[in-house]
Each structure stands twice: as C-alpha cells, then as structure tokens.
Amino acid sequence: MSDHILNAMTVDVEDFFQVSAFEKNVSRTSWDSTPLRVERNMDRILDLFGQHDVKATFFTLGWIAERCPSMVRRIVEEGHELASHGWEHVRVTEQNPEQFREDVVKTKKFLEDLGGQGVHGYRAASYSIGAGNLWAHDVLADSGYKYSSSIVPIKHDLYGMPDAPRFKFTTANNRLVEIPLTTHPIAGKNINCAGGGWFRLFPYPFSRWALRQVNNNEREAAVFYFHPWEIDPEQPRISEASTKSRFRHYLNLAKMESRISQLLKDFRWSRMDHVFFADPE
C-alpha cells in the first residue's frame, strides 16, 4: 500500500465498438445492431471493486445509460459516483460550442434522472479538450458541471496539451475545476501513467513506480482510468482498423483485469468527488 494518499479510480463506460480509433470502421448507424458487451464487463468491474471495498467514478455515455439502466442504477446503489462522458462519444474537437452544450446538458439531465443523484463531473471523449478548445470549460460551467477530467498534459498524435498543469487547476473564471490525467516527468517529457493503453503497454512495476512517485514524492493524488472493454479479451476484432489502432486497442487485454486487481491492492482509491472536493454538493 502506497503511503496514505487517496487516489481517484475512474472508468470510462463505453463499449468496444464506440472507441474513437474505430470510428472510420464502425458506423454509428450500426451501433444499435451490435450486441452490447459493456454490461457483463461492468458486472465484473463492480464485483472487483466490491471485493476491494473501492468506490470509483464512472464517466458514462448517455447512449449506454439509455440502453443499460439497471447497470447505471447498480453504480449508484453501490456508492459510486455517476459522471458524464457525453452522449455518443463525439470528440469535442468535432463539435462547435452549441453542439457541445446540447450534448453535455442532455447527458447530465438524463443521468441525473436515471441515477437519482447530481452529476458533477465530465470527461471528454478521447480527452479531446486542449489548447484549441478551452471554450469547452466555460460551456461545462454554464451547464452546471463542477469539474472536468479531460486534459492529458502530454504530446500525443490523437490528444494532449503538453503545456497544461499536471495537477488540478481552476478554469472558466474559477467556475470549473479541471483535473488532468496523471503523468510523471521523465527526461523533461511527461509520461502518461494514468491507465488505459499506457497501463497495458508498460510493465506493471513501471506503472506502480510512477504512481508512487506522484504520491510519495510530489504528495499529489493520481487519477487512473480504464474502460470496460479493456478487461474483455474475447471481444470481437475490428479487422478493418489500421495496424496501429488494432495494436493500441488489443494489446495485453488478457492481462488487464489481474493488473487492475493488483493496483487496487497497492494503492488507496476512491471517487473523484471524494478525492478532490470536500463537499461536492
């Protein structure tokens, strides 16, 4: 167990066919005819969190919540935080301010009505808030959100804002808190140690070491994330996707659940709102 810092465990609730890497290969018009795997994967994740007595934040697509209401109710009933991941996993970079506003307002209201609790947090699809669209923070504040966790302070071909602060900061004229994904600087470059494909790529001892540096040396809370499809090595393969996309998506899926289990043992975890806000209400 790493010192006494409480870290934030988060899950981006989407299904395997909805990831941005496959958007050129899987039409949104096919989503309704594609069998969902997210519910069975979420059952395993919720069971795993229950075994370790961990509460987490679930950034949930409205599209998924609409089709899996009992799953959303289980999230809330078991004491986790329900948060917004937008409606259909459309990147903010592909929306104008009015489209974005409509999306985040619709998702917030639907999740609140379904879950029976306030929705305070938002995470952009594919971490698509960055230097070119910081107006999104103002829209989120205007729409009643209290925080976003949508920026990754790294340089990457698909997302990232390398000059952003590495830890939480206020934005939108102090009306919103942005809580970036966790990184660790090595040789002057921020390395993502927040989860997802990076967690599957790096050997587990490296991820554990990097998170301990953040906790023990910088005395900061880490934000970790993963997706339900990442614990599902038997998911259908999207063979039409590029070699790079397939490598990123399918790498080490069979190892992910056991690595998450070890992570839950090695660090202290809770919900975003409990880690970063004394009184989220």
Cβ–Cβ < 8 Å for 58, 83: yes
* pLDDT value of residue 159: 66
Cβ–Cβ < 8 Å for 145, 176: yes
Structural domain includes residue 37: yes
Number of compact structural domains in the chain: 1
Per the structure block, which two tokens stand in for 48? 């795993």
* pLDDT value of residue 73: 98
Q: How confident is the model at residue 4 (pLDDT cuts 50, 70, 90)?
A: confident
pTM above 0.85, yes or no: yes
* pLDDT value of residue 12: 98
Structural domain includes residue 188: yes
Q: How confident is the model at residue 281 (pLDDT cuts 50, 70, 90)?
A: very low
Structural domain includes residue 53: yes
Structural domain includes residue 281: no
Structural domain includes residue 1: no
Structural domain includes residue 135: yes
The yes-or-no verdict on residue 193 having pLDDT over 60 is yes
| Segment 65-70 mean pLDDT | 98
* pLDDT value of residue 163: 85
The mean predicted confidence, pLDDT, of the chain is: 94
Question: DSSP per residue over 150-212, as a string?
Answer: ----S--SS---TTS-SS-EEETTTTEEE-PPPEEEETTEEEE-SBHHHHHHS-HHHHHHHHH
pLDDT tens column, 140-187: 999 999 999 999 998 765 666 888 999 999 999 999 999 999 999 998
* pLDDT value of residue 154: 80
The yes-or-no verdict on residue 1 having pLDDT over 60 is no
- Residue 177, domain CATH: 3.20.20.370
Three-class SS state of 249: helix
pLDDT tens column, 71-122: 999 999 999 999 999 999 999 999 999 999 999 999 999 999 999 999 999 9
Give the domain extent around 218. 6-276
